[in-house]
Every structure is written in C-alpha cells, then in structure tokens.
Amino acid sequence: HSIYVYHEKKYSYDYLKNDLKTRPFIVSRSTFPGSGQYGSHWLGDDWATWTHMRLSVAGILNFQLFGVPQVGADICGFMANGDSELCARWYQLGAFYTYTRNQNIECVLDQEPWEFEGSTVMTSASNSIRQKYSILRYIYTWMYRTHRVGGPVLRPLFFEFPKDNRTYEDNIRNFLIGKHVLVVPVLDPEV
C-alpha cells in the first residue's frame, strides 16, 4: 500500500478514459488514500470461515470511510474449502458489497454456486443477486452521489443515527446502503 499504487491507478485510469476513450474499471488489492476515485479494491486473500465473512463487513466499511466506494471480498473465501451453509450466507451478504466477486485459490474445491450439491447455494446466490438488481438504480445513484460529493455508499448505522448509542456497540454486523436500505446479514452458522 503505497503512493506508487495511487499513481499506477491514476495513470491507468487516465489512459483508459482519455486515450482509449473507454469507461475505466480498475481493481487492485493494494491502495492508498484517494485512489478510490480511480479504481476498486478487494480485501485480499480471506479464508473460507465465518470469522472472515464477519471481518469482510468491517473491512468494507473501513474502505468506504477511506474513500474507496467500490470494494468487496472473495465470496466463500479465497483459501480453504467453504461448506454450503457458509457459501450460501456469504452470497447473501456479498450480493450487497459494492464490488461482488467469487475467486479462490487453485488447490481448493470450486465454489461457484452450481458446484454445491443440492440447491441451497444456487438458490441463495440467485435470490440475492436478484435482490441486488432490484435496487441497482438506488445503488448507482449512491455511487454517483459519492463520485460527485464524496462520502460512503455502504455505511455503518451510526452514520445515520449518531445519537443512538446502540449503533456503536456492534457496528460491523449491520450496515446501510445509502440512507435507506438496511442490510442485516446472517454472520453465524446454524441460524
């Protein structure tokens, strides 16, 4: 994480936009303050565990505050084999990341929704992505607002309810998309 990465993103963005006349989409695991205006970020090589799924919420909210509005984690984890319950819940959460992706290391089992026996993960992923698409205009509106005036797209509850002390107690379990959509993911097994 260095100023080098900031300039790498900026120059890539400028080249794609100005020279190639394309709409840039740049993703990096490394970042620097201010680089969110030029590219997206993913949280890196997380593990296929419930703890890492919970930590992804904190990581994403942190990067929102750092000025990187488009950020996500590897759904189902990058390392180790996730089970169907974990992956079904992570797809439900991950559909509401501003950057949704699934990727894992080569030495573990594939974890696309159709790779799991039964229909739980496939149904969960399908329904979650449909839900995201149903509010996509709202999300895009917030992305545009963030692009124009700053501020996070995904926000901890205390951003909207600063006088409510309960919003500070467990601020990595629930979050808002913009000001009006509350996301309450299941972050524990067997719920």
Q: What are 41-58's pLDDT values in tens digits?
A: 988 888 999 999 999 999
Read off the pLDDT of residues 52-101 as tens digits, 9 standing for 90 and up. Answer: 999 999 999 999 988 899 999 999 888 888 899 999 999 999 999 998 88
Which one-letter amino acid corresponds to residue 89?
R
Using an 8 Å Cβ cutoff, are 73 and 97 in contact? yes
Using an 8 Å Cβ cutoff, are 60 and 71 in contact? yes
Question: How much is the pTM?
Answer: 0.90
Read off the pLDDT of residues 17-29 as tens digits, 9 standing for 90 and up. Answer: 999 999 999 998 8
Three-state secondary-structure class, residue 16: helix
Phi-psi sector, 2: left (phi>0), alpha (psi -120 to 50), beta = beta
Separation between Cα atoms, residue 112 and residue 171, nearest integer Å: 29
Cα atoms found within 13 Å of the Cα of residue 125, Cβ hemisphere only:
22
Planar angle of CA 109, 132, 182, nearest 5 degrees: 110
CB crowding 91-114: b at 16 or more within 10 Å, else e: bbbbbbbbbbebebeeeeeebebe
Three-state secondary-structure class, residue 88: helix
Q: What is the largest CA-CA distance in the chain?
A: 52
